[in-house]
Amino acid sequence: MPYRPREITEFCGFEVDRRLGLALRYRRAVWSQILDELERGVIDAVCTAATFTPERARQFDYGRAYLDMALGVVVRDEEPGERDGVGGRFAVRSATTAERWIHEHLEPAEVLTFEYNADTYEALLDHRADAVVDDSPIAAWFVGQMDGLRYLHSLPGTESHYAMVFAKGSPLRVPIDAEIERLDAAGTLDTWKRRWFEAG
């Protein structure tokens, strides 16, 4: 059955599973707007699968890396094999490194952009798109949740990592990084990685 996201009443997931000893207020936001909100001081930190890029690092402070990733390609399970990216229809989240990669490296017939991950995979299953390009941890999770999808491969040269993002000079970065370091040393991060990315 297709994946149908539930109405969010509380936040859960790998990033939320990190207990940092702070009084936190989580707020749902779309990626295309979230960095602007951080820059304007609407939020204090971004803690949601934020890929490190040199361009973003010039504008914001990144915290300690906590999860390796690359861009990955997902297709429908009945698709026979590799695609060269010429003439294909791609579904992707708006304003992401995946969207930029498609435009810089492929010759797509169409790029469908969405604000939410689930919508990109629904477009693939509905045959509105031929492939989804997404962060590999997210892509692998959706393949495990939605019938009819297959993780095709990771894209060479797109390796990076996730880290929290702060405004330049934020006093939050140092204590949060120290707590993440402690969780890593204690093996807690590895436990959470197995829980969220190796289950089933």
Q: What is the mean pLDDT of the chain?
A: 84
Determine contact, residues 64/162, Cβ cutoff 8 Å. Answer: no
Q: Which residue has the higher pLDDT, 10 or 45?
A: 45
pLDDT in tens, 107-127: 899 999 999 999 999 999 999
Residue 1: band (very low, low, confident or very high) from pLDDT cuts 50, 70, 90:
very low
Would you state the pLDDT for residue 9? Answer: 44
Confidence grade of residue 6 (pLDDT, cut at 50, 70, 90): very low
Q: Is the pLDDT confidence value at 4 over 80? A: no
Q: What are the tens digits of pLDDT across the range 12-23?
A: 555 544 555 566
Our CA angle for 175, 181, 182, nearest 5°, is 90
Which one has a higher pLDDT value, 188 or 129?
129
More confident: 93 or 28:
93
What pTM value is reported for the model? 0.78
Does 139 score more than 80 pLDDT?
Answer: yes
DSSP conformation class of 77: T
Q: What pLDDT is stored for residue 84 in this prediction?
A: 52
Predicted pLDDT of residue 5: 43
CA 90, CA 113: separation in Å to the nearest integer? 8
Confidence of residue 148 (pLDDT cuts 50, 70, 90): very high
**What own/partner pairs with CB < 8 Å and gap ≥ 24 does 16-22 have?**
16/47, 17/192, 17/195, 17/196, 18/66, 18/179, 18/180, 18/183, 18/189, 18/192, 20/176, 20/179, 20/180, 21/179, 22/176
Using pLDDT thresholds of 50, 70 and 90, give the confidence band for residue 82. low
Q: What's the confidence (pLDDT) of residue 188? A: 87
Tell me what the mean pLDDT of segment 49-75 comes to: 92
Domains (range + CATH), the chain: 1-68+161-200 (3.40.190.10), 71-154 (3.40.190.10)
